[in-house]
A and B are shown apart, each in its own frame.
Chain A
């Protein structure tokens, strides 16, 4: 069964704690992306990676960190420096260049 998996579906954390969101894909895609979605808004790019061991900041990278040690995995850490971390986080993957991006089911993070 091919696709993108994100875990967990719901995540709850206390303010001041770091939390890591998982994203795995078995589509053999080189590029992977993390987006943040807030209610009633579009998707905003946090980080992206076009190849293993390389990644770039997106439009709202402050307070987030990523790693890309394996082609199929692109975990996102939401640090305590992120001022408003409560949101719906979406991971996507694609072949390199302006290609079709496919999304995972998302992780809803709530920080109180």
Chain B
């Protein structure tokens, strides 16, 4: 069935460095790819999303890239800050059914060391 693989499961960087999280999806019909940030004990917060008609999208220090041929997409965070520390989830839509259902990756715990 549909699947989203996310790597790495944990990532530790120094403040100011960049962080990259990668996801691979199996359903070639997927056309919507959001990224969520989840702080401890809270609900996930949508931080950026991209659709399959776009290869890259940027919002201040956050960017997402999509490679439809390879079926993978990545989250890039530049100039990391301690407040970026959280769990990040990628997801892909089951667009073929038009239900809006999302398949989530397993999550990446990002630690930014001051």
Contact = CB atoms under 8 A, between A and B. Distances in A.
Given A97-B98, A98-B93, A103-B45, A42 B104 contact: yes
Contact of A100 (B46, B89, B95, B99): B46
Interface string A81-112: 00000000010001111111111111010000
B99 A105 contact: no
Contact of B95 (A31, A90, A98, A104): A98
A48 B104 contact: no
B42 A98 contact: no
Q: Which range holds the interface residue count of chain B?
A: 20 to 34
Interface string B81-114: 0000000010001110011111011110000000
B42 A58 contact: no
A95 B107 CA distance: 25
A104 B43 contact: yes
Interface of A: 4, 6, 31, 33, 40-45, 48, 50, 56, 58, 90, 94-106, 108
Interface of B: 4, 6, 31-32, 34, 36, 41-46, 49, 89, 93-95, 98-102, 104-107
Given A100-B34, A106-B43, 15 more contacts: A31-B100, A33-B101, A41-B106, A90-B43, A90-B44, A96-B98, A98-B32, A98-B100, A100-B49, A101-B102, A103-B36, A103-B45, A104-B43, A105-B43, A106-B42
